[in-house]
């Protein structure tokens, strides 16, 4: 089941059971930021707009890519290609890069590489409306940092990088947890991730996806670790 929320005249938030994705419209074309877990992203978007559609994936975790099957091409940072093609080997990915800008027609969006949660995680900066679509790294829910493709040291550097650019956006739209958030979450999120790296939080063991992991709950988020 999906719940469509209008953020403004050109932007929509689509909530599924435990993940959300976004539709951004310009004057010439529209972009889906992720395609969710149910797989009806194209159908949902075409009920809202008749503009030509592009897909940009924030990363290659399963709950963000199911609707890609209905598109002949999509864009993703190539550092996540290996993870993606392990799950969906017949899809056609195009590379996008840090600093790349897409002009939707009167609305420019910039790609910011934010590795850590996955190698190819990105955020999308909407310059017109001063929105940041953060994918999974910036949220106040549980951030998956266990298993392959995850790295806490890289995560800290990515949050630090976003913090340095916080004057460029007023609202953060994550794919999990509360939405929207303010840029003021970045500093404590970075500080708490550093504390986790330094072993200042013991956490608790739990079973998830058939494996035993450690959950560290901090004031602003949770970190799920090996």
Contacts 24+ apart (CB under 8 A), 87-96: 87/60, 87/62, 96/56, 96/122
- Domain that residue 20 falls in: 3-225
Model-level pTM? 0.97
Q: What is the pLDDT of residues 119-130, one digit of tens each?
A: 999 999 999 999
- The three-state secondary structure class of 59 is coil
pLDDT at 109: 98
Residues ≥6 apart with Cβ < 8 Å to 149: 60, 80, 83, 118, 119
- Domain CATH code at residue 78: 3.60.15.10
Number of structural domains the chain divides into:
1
Structure tokens at 66: 């199911």
Q: What is the pLDDT of residues 80-107, one digit of tens each?
A: 999 999 998 878 999 999 999 999 999 9
Q: For residues 35-59, give the mean pLDDT.
A: 97
């Amino acid at each position: 089941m999906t719940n469509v929320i209008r953020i403004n005249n050109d932007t929509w938030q689509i909530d599924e059971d435990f993940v959300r994705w976004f539709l951004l419209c310009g004057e010439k074309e529209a972009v889906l930021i992720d395609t969710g877990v149910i797989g009806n992203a194209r159908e949902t978007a075409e009920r809202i707009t008749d503009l030509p559609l592009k897909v940009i994936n924030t990363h290659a975790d399963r709950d963000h890519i199911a609707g890609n099957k209905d598109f002949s091409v999509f864009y993703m940072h190539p550092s996540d290609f290996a993870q993606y093609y392990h799950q969906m080997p017949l899809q056609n990915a195009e590379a996008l890069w840090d600093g790349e800008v897409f002009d939707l027609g009167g609305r420019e969006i910039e790609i910011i590489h934010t590795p850590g949660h996955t190698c190819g995680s990105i955020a999308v900066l909407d310059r017109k409306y001063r929105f940041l679509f953060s994918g999974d790294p910036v949220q106040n829910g549980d951030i998956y940092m266990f298993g392959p493709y995850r790295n806490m040291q890289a995560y800290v550097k990515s949050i630090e990088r976003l913090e340095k650019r916080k004057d460029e956006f007023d609202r953060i739209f994550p794919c999990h947890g509360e939405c929207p958030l303010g840029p003021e979450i970045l500093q404590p999120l970075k500080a708490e991730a550093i504390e986790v790296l330094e072993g200042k939080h013991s956490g608790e063991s739990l079973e998830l996806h058939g494996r035993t992991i450690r959950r560290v709950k901090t004031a602003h988020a949770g970190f799920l670790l090996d």
